[in-house]
Amino acid sequence: MIDELFLDKAHLFLIVLNHRWQGARGEAEHLARLLRRYKIKPGDRILDLGCGNGRIAINLAMMGYRVTGLDYSNLFIEDAVEKSRKYNVYDKVEFIHGNAFDIDKIFNREKFKLVFMYWTTLIGYSLDPAKDLELLKKIHGIVEEGGYFMLLNHASIESLDYRALEEGVSHYKDLDEYALISKATYEPARSILHISWRFYRKMNEDLMFIGEVSYDIKIYSMHEIVEMSEKAGWKLIDAYCSIKTMEPYKPGRCSLNIVFTK
């Protein structure tokens, strides 16, 4: 079902990705500070897994980092390559169109100092904990000894606003020349969020409906993510509320940002 969002109707999600570019430089600067904290240097190999249209990878490359971005949406990768030209880092950042579940074959014997996933990427999409564990193991296989895995800006059970979900509240989001109305419900027995997004183009005072997409995502608690990652061989080092403030993770207050090492 997540394929509807990223593949079948990727043109709609591209609107959301493009909107997020407004804060891209700031987000990448916060991430760069985190990288310095763990002594990850510009020459070290970094993989942005599920890189979308390159917002983080390109901005890190502009700061001198050596980043590879991988995404299974051809539309997003083509857009990322085009943006890397626009920002003059075409030869400093690499984009690969591929499935994260194939990273063991794609990278064969290549190793990274860091693999990160930014903004609830991949873990929880298959709705199958066994697949999530498989992916965590595959990531472990392509990171060098002493290297890192970071799950950044990630959703967690602790960060859900249950009351809003119960009431089935719709949210309006302004996306410049577009608008998005989202609705979500939560299924506690399986911890699955059912989300539907309706996209509109702004036309003077009116909104013209241009398409809709529905998807499900499994939401884990921090301890479930930690247990699953430890099964895959990862060691927890730190968890933050936000990479901007670097405050420790506080359930109920913020998104999840976890740093693991190998």
Ligand X SMILES: C[S@@+](CC[C@H](N)C(=O)[O-])C[C@H]1O[C@@H](n2cnc3c(N)ncnc32)[C@H](O)[C@@H]1O
Minimum CB separation of residue 204 from ligand X in Å reads 30
Q: How many CB atoms lie within 10 A of CB 168?
A: 10
Q: How far is CA 257 from CA 9, 149, 244, in A?
A: 28, 11, 11
Size of the site for ligand X (CB under 6 A): 21
- Residue 95 touches ligand X, criterion: CB under 6 A: no
Minimum CB separation of residue 33 from ligand X in Å reads 17
- Residue 73 touches ligand X, criterion: CB under 6 A: yes
- Residue 72 touches ligand X, criterion: CB under 6 A: yes
3-class secondary structure for 87-138? CCCCCCEEEEECCHHHHHHHCCCCCEEEEEEECCCCCCCCCCHHHHHHHHHH
Nearest to 237 by CA among 81, 39, 58: 39
Indicate left, alpha or beta for 76 from its phi (over 0: left) and psi (-120 to 50: alpha). Answer: alpha
- Residue 215 touches ligand X, criterion: CB under 6 A: no
Minimum CB separation of residue 27 from ligand X in Å reads 8
Strand arrangement, sheet containing 170-175? 170-175, 178-187, 192-203, 206-218
Rounded Cα–Cα distance for residues 25 and 187 (Å): 36
Answer yes or no: are the C-beta atoms of 241 and 257 closer than 8 Å: yes
Part in contact with ligand X (CB under 6 A); list of ranges 46-54, 58-66, 143-151, 219-227 = 46-54
Answer yes or no: are the C-beta atoms of 181 and 202 closer than 8 Å: no
Minimum CB separation of residue 117 from ligand X in Å reads 7
Structure tokens at 10: 């990727």
Which one of 12, 31, 122, 157 is in contact with ligand X (CB under 6 A)? 122
Strand arrangement, sheet containing 45-49? 93-97, 66-71, 45-49, 112-118, 143-154, 256-261, 235-240
DSSP 54: S
207 or 244: CB nearest ligand X: 244
Per-residue contact string for residues 5-34; x = within reach of ligand X by CB under 6 A:
-x----------x--x--------------
Which one of 107, 125, 148, 234 is in contact with ligand X (CB under 6 A)? 125
Which one of 55, 113, 198, 218 is in contact with ligand X (CB under 6 A)? 55
Which one of 31, 47, 76, 139 is in contact with ligand X (CB under 6 A)? 76
194 or 207: CB nearest ligand X: 194
Which one of 28, 32, 40, 51 is in contact with ligand X (CB under 6 A)? 51
Answer yes or no: are the C-beta atoms of 170 and 181 closer than 8 Å: yes
Which one of 95, 107, 112, 118 is in contact with ligand X (CB under 6 A)? 118
- Residue 56 touches ligand X, criterion: CB under 6 A: yes
List interacting residues with ligand X (CB under 6 A): 6, 17, 20, 50-52, 55-56, 71-73, 76, 99-101, 118-122, 125
